[in-house]
């Protein structure tokens, strides 16, 4: 039987007694000289970092990504350089709106954040289990999230706040339809698909760019919870998804996802937009598979549980700005906002040098002039803390992406597409592919919160359903009537 190591202070000094404080006599006051007591209480008072504003409740694991199909014609990123190549990964799944103590089974999108520890730096793909989102402009994001949180007076969740926002932002209807369908309550994290959601870009060694959407298709099969079962689990086992993921990996039942891509050139997207009227960089829209078929890329597997939840899951900090050479962004406005917001949130929540923590650190050499601040684990040693300026014409490599120039349209202004852009057709398309039972579940799931909202909000939201499909609006009205008759 192995012997436990002796208790010590954080400085490594052995502690003689971890059960009794130093006091002035058996019943006397405690002494300030008991440094072990002071250090223990000080750390305890500070052992929480602020929880994430969104995606606060989550689970994570390590794994591998294996290339199964050659996409080197699209990208020069080295992690895709040959079939069979493996890259170490870390994944964090989460609910979006709830606090850290909330239930895993709440009706909510699920975060699907992935990190690939490549030889060229970390690539972070920060997505969800849905291919679309509620809004298309990041200036609305703080307001949207506030409506999903608690009323500032009652401190209660408010259906009125949620649907007041959604009914005035018809662009949200596509995601709302997904959220209140059966897929709004996935059965754990292993039985759901993942999506990069945003439009990203890939750049090959000839400097040619294509735009892409990432898809992760679960090999475990899609499974969802009924509203009744999700509610039961919220009370009986609020950590249901965490328990399921941790337990499956612990017994060797490693979850896997097939990694796939939709690919389009700028010319193809321009033709598609001219034909459909849909902006291909609008996050509330999807690219139909009939127009842009899925191409296989590889397999993503999770096969190792973290040793310490706080150090490796709670302190994990992802950012879509982490894109290695051969990868790039797009004019997606929501993506553009997140390129700033995710890293900035980690600077506040975890600390200035959060990228030095093992779960966040690159596993390849890195060099910069960033110095000092909290947690300066790698502070540069004796190396200069400034970059030597290069002479004009020296053609510095920069990020090394080699991305071609992005064509811009129009001048700098605030462009308002409300009332002009089509926010209803794709929501209607999603509704029409649901089974008859799936549609009824959607109606019933919506009727619950809609029965609690003000009359003007209700009528505005019902009007959106009607525009997506008359049967959609009629079904929700029937479910509301049935609920009111109970």
For residues 400 and 422, what is the distance between their CA atoms, to the nearest angstrom?
Answer: 38
| Residue 465 structure tokens | 């359903």
| Residue 166 structure tokens | 């959604």
Enclosing H/E stretch for 88: strand 86-95
The two beta strands, 110-118 and 86-95, are antiparallel
HSE, side-chain direction, 13 A CA sphere, residue 312: 13
Token pair 């014409």 is found at 393
Q: Give the residue among 465, 452, 445 at the shortest CA–CA distance from 151.
A: 452
If one counts every other C-beta atom within 10 angstroms of the C-beta of residue 173, the result is 26
Q: Give the residue among 163, 105, 171 at the shortest CA–CA distance from 133.
A: 171
The residues near 202 (Cβ < 8 Å, ≥ 6 apart) are 71, 74, 75, 77, 209, 210, 212, 263, 326, 327, 328
Q: Give the residue among 471, 481, 408 at the shortest CA–CA distance from 444.
A: 481
* 8 Å CB contact between 415 and 331: no
CA 150 to chain centre: 21
The CA dihedral of 474, 479, 481, 482, to the nearest 10 degrees, is: 140
Query: CA 94 → CA 190, 239, 341, 442, 459, distances in Å?
Result: 12, 11, 18, 23, 33
Backbone angles phi, psi at 453, to 5 degrees: -100, 160
3-state secondary structure of 203: strand
Q: Give the residue among 80, 109, 407 at the shortest CA–CA distance from 261.
A: 80
The residues near 160 (Cβ < 8 Å, ≥ 6 apart) are 452, 453, 454, 457
Active centre residues (catalytic):
55, 128
* 8 Å CB contact between 83 and 299: no
Q: Give the residue among 61, 50, 31 at the shortest CA–CA distance from 99.
A: 50
Enclosing H/E stretch for 94: strand 86-95
* 8 Å CB contact between 259 and 298: yes
CA 99 to chain centre: 15
DSSP 79: G
């Amino acid at each position: 039987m192995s012997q436990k190591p002796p208790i010590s202070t954080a400085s490594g000094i052995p502690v003689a007694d971890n059960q009794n404080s130093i006091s002035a006599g058996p019943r006397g006051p405690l002494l300030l000289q008991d440094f072990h007591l002071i250090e223990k209480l000080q750390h305890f008072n500070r052992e929480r970092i602020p929880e994430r504003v969104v995606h606060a409740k989550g689970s994570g694991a390590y794994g591998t990504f294996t290339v199964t199909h050659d996409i080197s014609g699209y990208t020069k990123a080295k992690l895709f350089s040959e079939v069979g190549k493996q890259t170490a990964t870390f994944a964090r799944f989460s609910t979006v709106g709830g606090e850290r103590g909330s239930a895993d089974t709440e009706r909510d999108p699920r975060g699907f954040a992935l990190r690939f520890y490549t030889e060229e730096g970390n690539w972070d793909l920060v997505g969800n289990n849905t291919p679309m989102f509620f809004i298309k402009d990041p200036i609305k994001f703080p307001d949207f999230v506030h409506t999903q949180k608690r009323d500032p007076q009652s401190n209660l969740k408010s259906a009125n706040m949620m649907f007041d926002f959604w009914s005035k932002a018809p662009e949200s209807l596509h995601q709302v339809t997904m959220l209140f369908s059966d897929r709004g309550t996935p059965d754990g994290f292993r039985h759901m698909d993942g999506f990069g959601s945003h439009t990203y870009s890939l750049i090959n060694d000839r400097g040619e760019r294509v735009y892409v959407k990432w898809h992760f298709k679960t090999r475990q099969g899609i499974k969802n919870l009924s509203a009744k079962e999700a509610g039961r689990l919220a009370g009986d086992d609020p950590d249901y998804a965490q328990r399921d993921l941790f337990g499956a990996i612990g017994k060797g039942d490693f979850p896997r996802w097939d990694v796939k891509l939709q690919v389009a050139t700028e010319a193809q997207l321009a033709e598609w937009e001219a034909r459909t009227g849909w902006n291909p960089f609008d996050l509330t829209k999807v690219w139909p598979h009939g127009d842009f078929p899925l191409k296989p890329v590889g397999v993503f597997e999770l096969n190792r549980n973290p040793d310490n939840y706080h150090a490796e899951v709670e302190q994990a900090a992802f950012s879509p700005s982490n894109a290695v050479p051969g990868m790039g962004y797009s004019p997606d406005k929501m993506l553009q906002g997140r390129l700033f917001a995710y890293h900035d949130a980690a600077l506040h929540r975890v600390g200035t040098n959060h990228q030095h923590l093992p779960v966040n650190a690159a596993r390849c050499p890195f060099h910069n002039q960033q110095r000092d601040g909290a947690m300066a684990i790698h502070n540069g040693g004796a190396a200069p803390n400034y970059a030597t300026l290069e002479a004009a014409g020296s053609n510095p490599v920069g990020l090394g992406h080699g991305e071609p120039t992005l064509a811009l349209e129009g001048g700098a202004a605030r462009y308002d597409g409300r009332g002009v852009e089509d926010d209803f057709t794709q929501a209607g398309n999603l509704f029409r592919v649901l089974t008859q039972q799936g549609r009824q579940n959607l109606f019933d799931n919506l009727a619950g919160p809609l029965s609690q909202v003000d009359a003007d909000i209700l009528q505005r939201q019902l009007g959106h359903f009607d525009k997506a499909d008359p049967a959609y609006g009629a079904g929700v009205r029937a479910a509301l009537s049935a609920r009111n008759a109970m």
